[in-house]
Amino acid sequence: MEIIEKAPAKINLGLDVLGKRADGYHELEMVMSSVDLADRLIMEELEEDKIIIETNKAFLPIDKRNNVYQAASIVKKRYGINKGILIRITKNIPVAAGLGGGSTDCAAALRGMDRLWQLGLTMPELIDIGMEVGTDVPYCIYGTTAFISGKGEKVTPLRPMPQCWVVLVKPRLSVSTGKIFQEVDLDQLHHPDIQELSDAILAEDYQRMIAAMGNSLESITIPKHPVVQQIKERMMKYGADVALMTGSGPTVFALCQKYSRAQRVYNALKGFCEEVYLVRTLK
C-alpha cells in the first residue's frame, strides 16, 4: 500500500521575537499560513527493518541529517515498529529558503506514517514527535493559518487568511536561521503587533491584515543580504499590496488581491531572480 501526502510551503505573515528562553531557544509570536507550493511524499512499507529516503534533489541528505529520516526513526522506535519504510520525496519548495520545506516534509511524513501503520496518533502526540525534529513542524502538522507561540510548539488555528495571490521569490543565497538568531538584539528589532494581525485575519479584513504584517528578523537579515530589500522594493514598485521576508529569509513574498497585479509582479521579478513562483493561498 502506498500513502501519498502533500507538504505545502509556509509563509510568515508576522514574526516577532520576544526574548531568550532558559532552554536556549527564543520566545516567539508568529502568524503563519500555507501556500499552494508543495513537496510530495509517497510512503511504502518494507519487510526489511530499514529506512530508505529517495529524493529528486541530489544535494539533499538521505540519512540521519534528513528531517524525514529523523521522524521515521523516532516513530519506529517509539511505537515498536519492526517493519521498514521507503519514503520518496519530490521537492518543489526551495531549500534553506524560510519556507519550511524540511519541516513540512517532516509533518507530511508523520501524517503518512500514522495512516500507513494505523497508529491513531492524536494531534498532541504528532506535535510532540515533530518538536524533536524542528520547531516549525508543529505548525506544519496543522497546515492552516495559525497563531504560533512559545518556541513553536503552541499552535492556535485561526480562520484561513483572506484569499489572494502570492508571489514567492528566492534569491540565489542561503541563510542560516541559527546564525540570524545569534544576532538578535531585542532593543534593535521592529516588533509587529501579532495580536492585531491575528484579529485582522479573524475579522477577514485584508487591508487591516496587510497593515499589521511584519517580520522582526528583517532588520538582521537585510543588512547582510541587501538583495532581500531590493526584491521587496521591486515587488512594491510593480503593484504588490505588501512585500515581506518569510522566516529568517532569504525568500520574500508579495500578496496581491488581483491576479493581474500578481502576474505583473511575477514578470518583473522573473528576470531579477531565477526562483520565482506565482501561487494561491490555501483555504
pLDDT (tens place) for every residue of the chain, 283 residues total: 899 999 999 999 999 999 999 888 899 999 999 999 999 999 999 999 999 999 999 999 999 999 999 999 999 999 999 999 999 999 999 988 999 999 999 999 999 999 999 999 999 999 999 999 999 999 999 999 999 999 999 999 999 999 999 999 999 998 888 899 999 998 889 999 999 999 999 999 999 999 999 999 999 999 999 999 999 999 999 999 999 999 999 999 999 999 999 999 999 999 899 999 999 999 8
Q: How many domains does the chain have?
A: 2
Of 109, 138, 155, the residue that ends a domain is 155
Query: How large is the angle between the packed helices 123-133 and 101-116, nearest 10 degrees?
Result: 140
Q: Measured between alpha carbons, how far is 167 from 121 in angstroms, rounded to an integer?
A: 35
Q: Measured between alpha carbons, how far is 125 from 79 in angstroms, rounded to an integer?
A: 12
Do 108 and 5 contact (CB within 8 A), yes or no? yes
Residue 256 lies in a domain: yes
Distance between the two ends of the chain, CA-based, in angstroms?
29
Of 113, 135, 155, the residue that ends a domain is 155
Residue 283 lies in a domain: no
Of 121, 139, 155, the residue that ends a domain is 155
Check whether residue 96 and residue 142 sit in a common domain: yes
**Could you tell me which residues are annotated as the binding site for ATP?**
94-104
Q: Measured between alpha carbons, how far is 108 from 54 in angstroms, rounded to an integer?
A: 15
Check whether residue 145 and residue 190 sit in a common domain: no
Beta bridge partners of 20: 26
Do 112 and 3 contact (CB within 8 A), yes or no? yes
Question: Domain range for residue 247?
Answer: 163-278
Check whether residue 250 and residue 142 sit in a common domain: no
10 is catalytic: yes
Check whether residue 67 and residue 180 sit in a common domain: no
136 is catalytic: yes
Choice among 39, 105, 136, 241 that is catalytic: 136
Residue 134 lies in a domain: yes
Residue 108 lies in a domain: yes
Check whether residue 266 and residue 173 sit in a common domain: yes
